[in-house]
Amino acid sequence: MSRFLESSERLEKPMLNAVGNQAKQLIDELFPQIRLAAFENDGASIVEIKFGFEFDDNGAKCAVASEGKVTFPAKRVYAEEICSR
């Protein structure tokens, strides 16, 4: 982990790209529920997205996992990507 802290700038851009790609993928998969929730809730819909980061021992790779859900009607989706410098 200390190696990641020393060279984190090289891994930050791939991580940021992974977060953006996964957010887009999750929202794309959730669009039917987003529209239905908005229809049922006076035009409002809330999406929750969580991201998790797991770094390898030498700091060269990071797994980025994400989960998104719409509370009503409930649907959860999951995405994961490995980033390396």
What is the pLDDT confidence band of residue 9, given thresholds at 50, 70 and 90? confident
- The string of pLDDT tens digits covering residues 16-60 is 999 999 999 999 999 999 999 999 888 889 999 999 999 888 878
Domain boundaries, the chain: 2-84
- The string of pLDDT tens digits covering residues 12-26 is 999 999 999 999 999
CB-based contacts of 4, cutoff 8 Å, min separation 6: 11, 55, 59, 62
Residue 2: what pLDDT? 65
User: CB atoms < 10 A from the CB of 69, how many?
Assistant: 17
